[in-house]
Amino acid sequence: MRRPLVVIVLPLVGMFVLGGCAVGKLLGGMAQNAEYQKEIEVHPVYSGLENKTVAVIVDVDLVTLYQYPDVAVTLAANIARRVQANVPGITVLAPSRVSQWQFRTPQWNAMQYSEIAERLNVDRVVHVDIYEYRLHPPGNQWIWDGVCAANIGIIERDGYDPDNYVDRFNISVAFPDMTGVTRENATAGGVQTALWTLFTRETAWLFFTHLEPKHPKYYNGRIKEGRYDG
């Protein structure tokens, strides 16, 4: 009864003795994969939203708004929800109130920054000024090449100079992350939802400590909501 056991074990032993190079490659590959799945803690670039009342306001040019009427309200709501869930002590003004104020005040983007904060009655305003938004490359409606790019300005109502941004950032995301994706491979709704998700994540990450993949190109996991969900 012992002979079958010897027959099974010896080939395994031989594999490790004679195939040391292969085993080394296997272990090296496992170590490399573990490295690719590592996550790093990243601190906020701007922490001044903590324990403050905040409004998120999105500005989009009329041409873009005509083509994509939901982009401003959707991004404002998504960013507001994400920072409310993750920034300590923050109180975010309801996005519906902000959008209603924008509608009632059509020249709001010509106001002094301090007046915007006063009218909304908040300590901080996250001003998202979208300067590029598209789903296709110019002149080609058959290819998906989505881009959402904006300047993010922070208004501090109680700051030294409330009529100027205390800090400013640029966020630009693209989807798909490969060329040649056509209408046969994806839908407009899918591309737009992906752009909104990426842009919301990158913008909100400016304001709270979070986890990011150390090697995003090779990362294949998911981190909890409020952390990484790329």
CA distance 144 to 180: 8
pLDDT at res. 71 = 97
Structure tokens at 1: 């009864």
Q: What is the tens place of the pLDDT at every residue in 37-71?
A: 678 888 999 999 999 999 999 999 999 999 999 99
Q: Which pLDDT does position 94 carry in this prediction?
A: 98
Closest of 60, 53, 62 to residue 76, by C-alpha: 60
Residue whose structure tokens are 């407009």:
188
Please state, in angstroms and rounded to a whole number, the distance separating the CA atoms of residues 207 and 79.
11
DSSP string, the chain: --HHHHHHHHHHHHHHHHTHHHHHHHHHHHHHHHHHT-EEEE--S--TTTTSEEEEEEE--HHHHHH-TTHHHHHHHHHHHHHHHHSTT-EEPPHHHHHHHHHH-TTGGGS-HHHHHHHHT-SEEEEEEEEEEESS-TT-TTB--EEEEEEEEEEETTSS-TTS-SEEEEEEEEESSSS--BTTT--HHHHHHHHHHHHHHHHHGGGS-EEEESSTTT------TTS---
Q: Which of 204, 78, 188, 93 is nearest to 142 (CA)?
A: 188
Q: Residue 140 corresponds to which tokens in the numbers above? A: 């080609």
Delimit the domains of the chain by residue range.
3-31, 40-213
Question: What are the two backbone dihedrals, phi and then psi, of residue 46, each rounded to the nearest 5 degrees?
Answer: -130, 120
Least confident of 1-5, 94-98, 101-105, 123-127: 1-5
CATH fold group of domain 40-213 = Rossmann fold (3.40.50)
Q: Could you read off the pLDDT of 2-12 as tens digits, one per residue?
A: 454 444 444 44
Report whether pLDDT(122) > 80. yes
First vs last C-alpha separation in the chain: 55
Lowest mean pLDDT among 32-36, 106-110, 213-217: 32-36
The tokens for 164 are 């100027």
Asked whether residue 33 carries a pLDDT value surpassing 90, the answer given is no
**Token pair 């996991």 in the structure block, residue:** 221
pLDDT given at position 108: 96
Q: Please give the pLDDT value at position 216.
A: 65
Cβ neighbours of 217 (radius 10 Å) = 7
The one-letter amino acid code at 211 reads L
